[in-house]
């Protein structure tokens, strides 16, 4: 059996990068390196599985829709687990879908994204991933604030504020910080970062202007998706639909 040199290089680089990340966490006293190793192994297995079925998915619109739905389900589970919301965690699906679904519809109706799997899967994945990140960060910030400033919450109730109003006043600004990564990425695109949609289209042979136009649309779509997710999170927390489970939400890499 002949081993391709490119595969050997790929394996070596992946091992070096994973070991480097784990070593930094260990020797920096930040965390155990095990989560990095597990994440790397999961990424390798998942990408191999997706690579095996992606051709069939991209060739069928029903399979493409099912794949996007699977993305949303996994994003919901990941966000709920990271925020440690317990049995109420599936409410975060509302935040993830509230901005993602309308944004995808806007892109399809406008014709900027064709109704084809090859376009829907990557763009949809980017939007769902952004919604997941914003939801996770905003839920954690909101629930941490509600815990740490419980005295202010009780004082607001004593002054006659209803529970939703009191919670909103406390968690809005901390939750809004979840939008900072998307804002910074949009502000610095082309100067600091060259995101995946832009690079992917260039590698696929698309004109530079077309790649730039699509990337702009994706970035602005991400802002809409993430801003909506954060706003919905604030309402879910304010109305008591999302609360922390029995475990505290301390930062752990799992």
Statement to judge: residues 120 and 162 lie in one domain? yes
Statement to judge: residues 20 and 90 lie in one domain? no
Statement to judge: residues 156 and 30 lie in one domain? no
User: What does pTM read for this prediction?
Assistant: 0.81
Does residue 2 lie within any of the structural domains?
yes
Statement to judge: residues 29 and 82 lie in one domain? no
Distance between CA atoms of residues 27 and 187, nearest Å: 34
Distance between CA atoms of residues 55 and 51, nearest Å: 8
Statement to judge: residues 19 and 135 lie in one domain? no
Distance between CA atoms of residues 225 and 103, nearest Å: 7
Which pLDDT belongs to residue 19? 93
Does residue 248 lie within any of the structural domains?
no
Number of domains forming the structure of the chain: 2
Statement to judge: residues 67 and 50 lie in one domain? no
Q: Can you list the residues of the chain whose pLDDT is less than 50? A: 1, 247-254
Which pLDDT belongs to residue 23? 93
What interhelical angle do 208-238 and 180-188 show, nearest 10? Answer: 160
Distance between CA atoms of residues 201 and 61, nearest Å: 21
Does residue 253 lie within any of the structural domains?
no
Which pLDDT belongs to residue 213? 77
Statement to judge: residues 52 and 80 lie in one domain? no
Statement to judge: residues 138 and 219 lie in one domain? yes
Does residue 29 lie within any of the structural domains?
yes
Statement to judge: residues 16 and 77 lie in one domain? no
Q: Which residues contact 30 (CB under 8 A, 6 or more apart)?
A: 24
166-175 pLDDT tens trace: 999 899 999 9
Which pLDDT belongs to residue 203? 55
Does residue 249 lie within any of the structural domains?
no
Statement to judge: residues 103 and 195 lie in one domain? yes
Could you give the C-alpha distances from 24 to 20, 21, 30, 41, 75, in angstroms and in order? 6, 5, 8, 18, 27
Statement to judge: residues 29 and 70 lie in one domain? no
Which pLDDT belongs to residue 7? 79
Which pLDDT belongs to residue 245? 60
Which pLDDT belongs to residue 202? 55
Which pLDDT belongs to residue 251? 42
Does residue 251 lie within any of the structural domains?
no
Does residue 230 lie within any of the structural domains?
yes
Residue 43 is part of which domain span? 1-56
The CA-based angle 208-211-217, given to 5 degrees, is 140
Which pLDDT belongs to residue 230? 95
Statement to judge: residues 89 and 17 lie in one domain? no
Does residue 39 lie within any of the structural domains?
yes
Which pLDDT belongs to residue 198? 61
Which pLDDT belongs to residue 51? 80
């Amino acid at each position: 059996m002949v081993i391709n040199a490119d595969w050997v290089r790929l394996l070596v680089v992946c091992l070096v990068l994973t070991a480097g990340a784990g070593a930094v966490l260990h020797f920096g006293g930040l965390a155990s390196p095990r989560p990095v190793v597990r994440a790397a192994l999961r990424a390798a297995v998942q990408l191999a599985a997706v690579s095996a079925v992606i051709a069939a998915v991209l060739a069928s619109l029903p399979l493409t829709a099912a794949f996007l739905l699977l993305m949303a389900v996994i994003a919901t589970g990941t966000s709920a687990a990271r925020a440690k919301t317990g049995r109420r965690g599936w409410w975060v699906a509302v935040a993830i879908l509230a901005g993602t679904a309308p944004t995808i519809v806007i892109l399809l109706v406008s014709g900027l994204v064709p109704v084809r799997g090859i376009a829907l899967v990557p763009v949809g994945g980017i939007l769902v991933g952004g919604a997941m990140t914003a939801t996770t960060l905003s839920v954690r910030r909101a629930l941490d604030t509600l815990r740490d400033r419980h005295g202010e919450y009780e004082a607001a109730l004593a002054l006659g504020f209803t529970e939703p109003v009191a919670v909103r006043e406390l968690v809005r600004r901390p939750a809004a910080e979840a939008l900072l990564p998307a804002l910074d990425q949009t502000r610095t695109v082309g100067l600091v970062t060259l995101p995946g949609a832009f690079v992917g289209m260039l590698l696929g042979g698309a004109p530079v202007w077309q790649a730039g136009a699509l990337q702009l649309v994706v970035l602005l779509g991400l802002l809409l998706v993430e801003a909506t997710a954060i706003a919905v999170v604030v309402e879910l927390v304010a109305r008591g639909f999302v609360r922390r489970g029995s475990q505290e939400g301390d930062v752990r890499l799992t």
